[in-house]
Chains A and B, each alone.
Chain A
Amino acid sequence: MNHKLPQSAGEKHVTLRSYITGFILSLATTLAAYVVVTNQTYSKNGIIAVVAVLAVSQFVVQMLFFMHLGQEKNPRWKLLALLFMMGVVFIVVVGSLWIMKHLDYNMMSPKQMQHYMDSQDGL
């Protein structure tokens, strides 16, 4: 028996180059995010946006170069499971933040309410 077991569903072209590319790109995005936060050159919202974009791009890089998601053959069950997971994650995270924001708003103490109204320049 000298057949090679494929690494994952339908993967045939896993190479050293793909791991090295993935490693360098991941290092670059990690260091870039670190520098952006420690240097504080952008505004707060700017930093949040840049760090989020860098995190998502490193996620994509590792999925492609370490997990070889792009080389999966049809039917692409792994991609499908990943997309479903991302949908659930989106609902859980965004939903929690949304609900808690409304709870915060609706359950303010009188003192917080006063502060909120002052800050909104009302009454």
Chain B
Amino acid sequence: MSMELTDKPLITQKAHYQQVAEADHSKTLVGFWVYLMTDCVLFASLFAVFAVLRNNTNGGPGGPELFNLPFVLVETIILLTSSFVCGLVLLAAQRKARSYVVAGLLIIFLLGLSFMALELTEFSHLVHEGNSWRESGFLSAFFTLVGTHGLHITVGLLWMVVMIVQIVRKGLTDPVLRRLSLFAMFWHFLDVVWIFIFSLVYLLGSMS
């Protein structure tokens, strides 16, 4: 391939390298997408466990007694808003508006942090009331499913810190932009998983 290139004028070479860079970029994104799909399968198995164990409360309280729907709605809206801001960050990154990108990432970080704070508040409240994961199959499945999502959010928060440091130190170079678009996919994906946790676990689980 490179042998052919030497005969071509410089401008074509440049266009060629550009094509190669873009092809690599989209390959990375597709590869990351495949990882996200396998992560979906992980979540699906946890959803299946929850669905099977949802009535095994071992005589203890179930969803209708334990879930606080307005609280969870606030969590949901926080996460949805952060996913939306993540899209705006990508648009700003395309325009190379560095300060907007950093500001947007900080907003997403704070939204993600408050989401985690709310989730941990809910968890510690449940544990203090004597409804920890050790009490029943239902609670084990609940804590595992929602906790795994929370773990992903925590990883996303770490990733955001790394992205902010990289953007401040290196600027919006092509590798940094690529990582940023991978992060955006990851963050949107976590919101997609949360739709199903909100609808199936909380909303439908709160009906008697």
Residues of A at the B interface (CB closer than 8 Å) are 1, 3-10, 14-16, 18-19, 22-23, 26-27, 30, 33-34, 37-38, 40, 44, 47-48, 51-52, 54-55, 58-59, 62-63, 66-67, 77-78, 81-82, 84-85, 88-89, 92-93, 96-97, 100
Query: A37 touching B207 by the CB < 8 A rule?
Result: yes
Main secondary structure of the interface of B (DSSP, over half): helix
Q: Which of B18, B21, B22 has the most CB of A within 10 A?
A: B22
Nearest CB on A from B143, distance (A): 19
The answer to whether the Cβ of B90 comes within 8 Å of any Cβ in the partner chain is yes
Query: A88 touching B192 by the CB < 8 A rule?
Result: no
Query: B178 touching A5 by the CB < 8 A rule?
Result: yes
List residues 68-97 of chain B with CB under 8 A from any CB of chain A: 69, 73, 76-77, 80-81, 83-84, 87-88, 90-91, 94
Task: Of the listed stretches B25-33, B107-115, B147-155, name the one at the interface; the rest are far from the partner chain.
Answer: B25-33
Query: B69 touching A62 by the CB < 8 A rule?
Result: no
Of all chain B residues, the one with the shortest Cβ separation from A18 is B87
When A and B form their complex, which 9 residue pairs have the shortest distance between CB atoms, in order from nearest?
A: A19-B87, A55-B199, A9-B26, A85-B37, A96-B48, A89-B44, A23-B84, A37-B203, A66-B188
Q: Please pick, from A30, A48, A63, the residue contacting B204 in the complex, using a CB distance under 8 A.
A: A48
Question: Inside 8 A of A15's CB, which chain B residues have their CB?
Answer: 91
Residues of B at the A interface (CB closer than 8 Å) are 18, 21-22, 25-26, 29-30, 33-34, 37-38, 40-41, 44-45, 47-49, 51-52, 69, 73, 76-77, 80-81, 83-84, 87-88, 90-91, 94, 174, 177-178, 181, 185, 188-189, 191-192, 195-196, 198-200, 203-204, 206-207
Question: Inside 8 A of B198's CB, which chain A residues have their CB?
Answer: 30, 33
Query: B188 touching A62 by the CB < 8 A rule?
Result: yes
Query: B80 touching A30 by the CB < 8 A rule?
Result: yes
Q: Please pick, from B30, B44, B199, the residue contacting A77 in the complex, using a CB distance under 8 A.
A: B30
Question: Inside 8 A of A89's CB, which chain B residues have their CB?
Answer: 40-41, 44
The CA of A18 and the CA of B91, in the complex, are separated in Å by 11
Q: Which of B37, B51, B189 has the most CB of A within 10 A?
A: B37
Question: Inside 8 A of A4's CB, which chain B residues have their CB?
Answer: 94
Of all chain B residues, the one with the shortest Cβ separation from A66 is B188
Nearest CB on B from A62, distance (A): 5
The CA of A54 and the CA of B44, in the complex, are separated in Å by 18
Query: B34 touching A81 by the CB < 8 A rule?
Result: yes
Question: Inside 8 A of B45's CB, which chain A residues have their CB?
Answer: 92
Question: Inside 8 A of B88's CB, which chain A residues have their CB?
Answer: 16, 19
Question: Inside 8 A of A22's CB, which chain B residues have their CB?
Answer: 84, 87
Query: A33 touching B37 by the CB < 8 A rule?
Result: no
The CA of A15 and the CA of B91, in the complex, are separated in Å by 7
